[in-house]
Amino acid sequence: MLLFNPRDLSRYYPDERSAEIMRLTVDWFENKGKTKLLKDDFDRIWYQDFLDFLAENHIFADLLTPTPYGDGSTRWDTWRNCEFNEILAFYGLHFWYTWQVSILGLGPIFLSENEEVKKDTARYLHEGGIFAFGLSEQEHGADIYSTSMKLSKHGDNNYTAKGSKYYIGNGNQAALVSIFGKLDPPFDPEDKKYGAYTFFVTKTDHEKYECVQNLVAVSSYVAEYKLHDYPITDREILAKGRKAWDMALNTVNIGKFNLGFASIGIATHALYEAMNHASHRILYGGPVTNFPHIKSFFVEAYARLSAMKLFALRAADYFRVATPEDRRYLLYNPMVKMWVTLQGEEVIDLLWEVIAAKGFEKNTYFALATRDIRALPKLEGTVHVNMALVLKFMQNYFFKHGEFSVVPQVSEAKDDEFLFNQPPAKNLRGIRFHDYRKVYAKFNLPNVNRFKRKIKWLKLLLMVARPSKSQSKDFDFLLNLGKLFTLVIYGQLILENVPHYKISDDLLEEIFDFLIRDFAKYALTLQAKPQTTMLQSWCLMRMLGKPKPNAARFKRVWEGEVFTLKDMYEMNP
């Protein structure tokens, strides 16, 4: 089964310890029970019991310690980390959040050449420590050009750090906080662009570290903190200059990937709960699930959720095989962060149409899901920032293909060393991609074929009616063009992953049913814009059109795949 089910932990794991971690985690949540989980959330209780469980079982240590710094049994393995992401969010976003921001905090440390701090970090992980990533500021957000955190030098090997950071998860009790700032005067006065940047670490229990407040009204701690002339030596400095700059971007590459799997976890739990409610609720003499529109909502939600997971898992394969010569992950990663999380909102909205007012009740997981699913597209940079990144690859994706070996499913137990050896984040327009047409050509199904024709019209638009200089400066225009491009990539990686999972042709056709409808929606939006030219409009109008209906196919998916979720899972009370 593609979707996670706590009652059937049958996903492939290459070793027993990985399977044990997932079982232990699921058992902890199920033993805690839904009543206590929801009460703690509504009372905004800090999840120390969860952190104690993680420490006792050395879970963060095993999952987040790269092999060279562990005891021989640890590794940073994206395959199993994806599953752990999903499990934590399945039970509550705040549990996932402490994991996510720990990954961000660990990024600069393991990307650095500071061996002493790495060894300290491994020890803190073994002791159950959590970590924080000090990048965002109240005035500048995540604009790293404008950071106001200052490091001042006082003789050789002595500095003081002064400034504040904002929106810093785990900032209340992180073992170490990785902080981005600038040295005044710069380390390298000749390098006007990067010479002042630095990353360094601090401790939250130091007298010069002030945790000012929790900025959010949930169980998570999202801190504002201040450093009051915090003493720093070279021992605490992780990087200087361009290396520090690249460290910030590459850490986000590592961490942003997790957000898509959090959306998948939330949406999966909500799907089970919605199905259980609707199938047992009797209206007008029969269950709610007898209504045709309810079946339609469920089938589309299931198709969208299945597509989310197929895409995200396939993107993980490219992350695990990446090299300095193959950086295709830089296109797929922001899509996991951006598009998969947006799709999560779509799934919740469809399910909310099913359960209606029930979704507000305080004894439902759904009440958490409706709140938390909105957060994910807005974390680690907005959708717009990630779309701007995706658009950089459009020309090469369509017109300048490279030759690559077929990437297999990468599920083996291995330390993903490349994550912490990424090259500088530059020359993005030099990255090549394999020919997407070869992937689509392997499938001869009605809706897939209709989608292929839409892609041809998009490519023709880019050839004969590409955006003008003024249109290229209009991000609202580019945003909608980017959505069309995004759907092409989304469909491609979904198709690539079909052979690795038992995905029926019927379900695949339902997935391309909504992809065709989405494509037409964005094409019509772009066509209606006043700055769209007549030639562009002519191309866009040919991207409209509906999917091929098939009532028998829909019935098979509903009866054989979606309605079978009834009573499959309900959390222990």
Residue with structure tokens 């957060």? 375
Pairing of strands 282-283, 286-287: antiparallel
User: Which CATH superfamily groups domain 248-398+429-563?
Assistant: Butyryl-CoA Dehydrogenase, subunit A, domain 3 (1.20.140.10)
In the chain, ranges of CATH 1.10.540 domains: 16-130
Helix (H, G, I), strand (E, B) or coil at 399: helix
pLDDT score, position 88: 98
Q: Is the peptide bond before 292 cis (omega within 30 degrees of 0)?
A: no
In the chain, ranges of CATH 1.20.140.10 domains: 248-398+429-563
Residue 146: phi and psi, rounded to 5, are: -105, 15
Given a cut of 70, the residues of the chain with pLDDT beneath it are 380-382
pLDDT score, position 380: 56
pLDDT in tens, 92-121: 999 999 999 999 999 999 999 999 999 999
Are 197 and 182 a contacting pair, CB within 8 Å?
yes
- Tell which CATH architecture fits domain 16-130: Orthogonal Bundle (1.10)
| Burial state string for 378-403 with b = 16 or more CB within 10 A and e = fewer than 16 | ebbbebeebbbbbbebbebbbeeeee
- Dmax over Cα atoms in the chain, in whole Å? 82
pLDDT in tens, 439-477: 999 999 999 999 999 999 999 999 999 999 999 989 889
Are 135 and 142 a contacting pair, CB within 8 Å?
yes
How deeply is 7 buried, as exposed, middle or buried, from its count of CB atoms within 10 A (0-12, 13-18, 19+)? exposed
Question: 132-240 in CATH: which number?
Answer: 2.40.110.10
Distance CA 313, CA 305 (A): 12
How many Cβ atoms from other residues are within 10 Å of residue 190's Cβ? 6
pLDDT score, position 381: 60
In the chain, ranges of CATH 2.40.110.10 domains: 132-240
> Can you give the C-alpha Rg of the chain in angstroms?
24
Helix (H, G, I), strand (E, B) or coil at 176: strand
